[in-house]
Amino acid sequence: MLPTIVVLPILYTICSASLFIKRQHSADFTAIEDSDYHHCPNALEIENIKKDEFLDLEFLDGLCKNVAGVIRMRVSGNFYGVAEALFNKLPRLEEFQGNDMTNLTELNLATWNLRQIDFSRNNIEKVTIEFMDELVYLNLSRNKLSDENIVMTSMRPSLSLKLRTLDLSYNALTRIDTLYPFWNLRKFILNDNRIAFIKPGILQKYPNLVTLNLARNKLYDLPIGMFTGLIHLVNLDLSHNRLNDTKIRIINSLRSLEFLDMIGNNIKDFNYDDLDHHLEVLRINDNHIYIHGKKVDLSTKEAQKQKMVLLQWYHHNTFNYHEKYL
């Protein structure tokens, strides 16, 4: 479907065409381009190039008529803040994306009826979020969040919150003790932080996890009990931490685990038979990579085929790997 370009105030320019091509699902966003005042499209895209603006209802009302009918919204540019009750006033909004806002350093909001919120790639140092039931996807990747500056609350019981995906990668977290317990969370993305230790009992707040990505943190230990109860966990990425040989067997308790990556740690001694586990893919270090329990020798011709298997696996599990890691 081709976007119909709504003609609106001159300062709100359309993003470059390449942006529309990058993501398939974005083709139906309507960018705001010129100088007129029309009905808002269902999917509205705004790139603000004016001096710092505050994203609130007045601002949106100045762009197009009946903004309350917008279903999806994508925003970028010179915004320094988002009105706390904004989403409350947009009853049909299901998806909000706000990226590349250099001056957005603080967020304070409630999720209302939104299903997807993406505030990745800003400079957010502090967030206060009140969760309502409907939200399934929250992306706060690539911001500047530290432990004490993530405040999550909800008046709703943890069981009724539908959040499935929480991405906090590329921030400055050192622990996850204070994060909200999301009972229904499936995908917890925490790579590229500074997490050194996760106390037993903490991950049990997310009993339905399927994917846990802790790559490129500072984990030096896997305490006994850390993974207890994660009976649905399929993908575990512990690569590029500071783990040593001694604790690998802790994964024996993860009976659904199919994929484990521990490459880039400090593991020297490894004996597959010490594990009482049958994983699909296991990467310990360059010399110990296994697919269905069979050791893969990456120096042979056969390796090319194996590489494909691994790549497909990574693709499936959206770990964002590049071939250079293999």
Ligand X SMILES: *[C@@H]1O[C@H](CO)[C@@H](O)[C@H](O)[C@H]1NC(C)=O
- Cβ-based neighbours of 58, under 8 Å, separated by 6 or more: none
Gap between the Cα atoms of 261 and 240, Å rounded: 9
Q: Which stretch binds ligand X (CB under 6 A): 191-199, 230-238, 239-247, 249-257?
A: 239-247
- Shortest separation between residue 50's beta carbon and ligand X, angstroms: 9
- Shortest separation between residue 246's beta carbon and ligand X, angstroms: 5
- Shortest separation between residue 302's beta carbon and ligand X, angstroms: 32
Residue 128 found at the interface with ligand X (CB under 6 A): no
Residue 142 found at the interface with ligand X (CB under 6 A): yes
State the amino acid at position 160 in one-letter form: S
State the amino acid at position 228 in one-letter form: T
Instruction: Map the footprint of ligand X across residues 103-122, applying CB under 6 A.
Output: 103, 120-121
CB closer to ligand X out of 40 and 117: 117
Q: Is 92 helix (H, G, I), strand (E, B) or coil?
A: coil
Gap between the Cα atoms of 83 and 64, Å rounded: 18
Spell out where the chain has E strands.
12-13, 30-31, 43-55, 72-82, 95-99, 106-110, 116-118, 126-131, 137-139, 150-154, 165-167, 187-189, 211-213, 235-237, 259-261, 281-285, 288-291, 294-295
Residue 244 found at the interface with ligand X (CB under 6 A): yes
Gap between the Cα atoms of 19 and 44, Å rounded: 14
Per-residue binding string, ligand X, 24-63, x by CB under 6 A, is ----------------------------x-----------
Residue 220 found at the interface with ligand X (CB under 6 A): yes
Gap between the Cα atoms of 253 and 80, Å rounded: 46
Residue 78 found at the interface with ligand X (CB under 6 A): yes
- Shortest separation between residue 278's beta carbon and ligand X, angstroms: 26
Backbone angles phi, psi at 274, to 5 degrees: -70, -20
- Cβ-based neighbours of 250, under 8 Å, separated by 6 or more: 222, 224, 226, 227
CB closer to ligand X out of 116 and 253: 116
Q: Which stretch binds ligand X (CB under 6 A): 106-114, 192-200, 244-252, 256-264?
A: 244-252
| Count of residues in contact with ligand X, rule CB under 6 A | 17
CB closer to ligand X out of 36 and 269: 269
Q: Which stretch binds ligand X (CB under 6 A): 14-22, 149-157, 238-246, 277-285?
A: 238-246
- Shortest separation between residue 140's beta carbon and ligand X, angstroms: 8
- Shortest separation between residue 38's beta carbon and ligand X, angstroms: 27
Residue 265 found at the interface with ligand X (CB under 6 A): no
- Residue of 115, 49, 56, 52 lying closest to 86 (CA atoms): 56
CA 262 to chain centre: 21
Q: Which stretch binds ligand X (CB under 6 A): 135-143, 150-158, 276-284, 298-306?
A: 135-143
- Cβ-based neighbours of 257, under 8 Å, separated by 6 or more: 233, 234, 235, 236, 251, 277, 279
State the residues that interact with ligand X by CB under 6 A.
52, 78, 102-103, 120-121, 139, 141-142, 165, 167, 189, 220-221, 244-246
